[in-house]
Copies of this chain bind each other. A is one copy, B any other.
């Protein structure tokens, strides 16, 4: 099967599960409507798919990893809702659709974000209380860490204080490692841990995650200057307009492309030990460079 068919299949699987995990509430419909609006606004589902790919790599059971993969997507989605708020990035469009606060108002957008984060934790706690396997607990722990102040939220903070400010390359890299890299890496780690991978394999797949996470972000910066607004579903050249440092401002377009290629090559080396089982993860690493949205 080629990667795009694989991705479509897994995306569907994730969305079916998300539909069950974040069901419409009849008593307070507005909150689940707002949560579901952003949850089903057409994301790539990169993080949950990475968790499932990591599960496949280590011979785990997909149905065990799937709910954790969906919780990671809830956390990712909440971060986008809050990130789009007027007080943060002030974005009107996300994936070609009006952002959450444009549809539901700012108050509900704040609450829908809070609710998705809480619901992710609640869903994992529910699984663990029924089946207190240490692997599930470890997955919860790493997901919590990756989305917290030493991970995603920390990265958001660096992002916020970097606006209209000169930052150095180390800060830029640290920002992306936290803001985007941490949750991508946690997705792979959670998939590996739940699948019973050895510690050395867990560390190895996390190294792979750090490399593709950074490559993903540099590609985002490349698409910001060279991509199509229509395909991206959001406005381009945003970083230049708001005077925000990105990889292009440090390296220029050509060198940035070279850096992405090097990161992806290095990432693929991490998969050398896994033979044909690493096929889709290798393909996915290539897809990160070649994507147009």
Chain A interface residues toward B at CB < 8 A = 25, 27-28, 30-32, 35, 78, 82, 85-88, 101, 105-111, 113-115, 117-119, 121-122, 125-126, 128-129, 132, 134, 137-138, 140-141, 144-145, 147-149, 153-154, 156-158, 160-161, 174
Closest 9 pairs between A and B when the two form their complex, measured CB to CB: A87-B106, A122-B144, A125-B141, A129-B141, A87-B107, A118-B148, A31-B157, A125-B144, A121-B121
Q: How many copies does the complex hold?
A: 2
* Complexed CA–CA distance, A86 and B110 (Å): 11
* A140–B137 CA distance with the chains assembled, in angstroms: 11
Chain B CB count within 10 A is highest, among A119, A134, A156, for A156
- Inter-subunit contact B157/A114 (CB<8 Å): no
List, in ascending order, chain B residues with CB within 8 A of A114's CB: 78, 82, 113-114, 117, 153
Partner of A25 from B111, B145, B149, B161 at Cβ < 8 Å: B149
Tell whether, in the assembled complex, residue B87 and residue A105 are in contact, meaning their CB atoms are under 8 Å apart.
yes
Residues of B within 8 A of A118 (CB): 117, 144, 147-149, 153
Known: A87-B106, A105-B87, A129-B138. A154 touches B122 (CB 8 A): no
**A110 and B111 contacting across the interface, CB-CB below 8 Å:** no
Given A87-B107, A110-B82, A115-B149: A154 touches B121 (CB 8 Å cut-off): no
Q: List 6 interface pairs A-B (beta carbons < 8 Å), by A numbering.
A: A78-B114, A87-B101, A119-B148, A121-B121, A122-B141, A125-B140
Which residues of the other chain, B, contact A141 by a CB distance below 8 angstroms?
Answer: 122, 125-126, 128-129
Asked if B126 contacts A157 (CB within 8 A), the reply is: no
Query: In the complex the two chains form, what is the Cα distance from A166 to B86 in whole Å?
Result: 30
Inter-chain contact B149/A119, CB cutoff 8 Å: yes
Separation of A147 and B117 alpha carbons in the complex (Å) = 11
Assess the B31–A154 pair: CB atoms within 8 A: yes
CB neighbours of A132 from chain B (8 A): 132, 134, 137
Residue pair A157, B125 in contact (C-beta under 8 Å): no
Q: Hey, which chain B residues are within 8 Å of A101, CB to CB?
A: 87
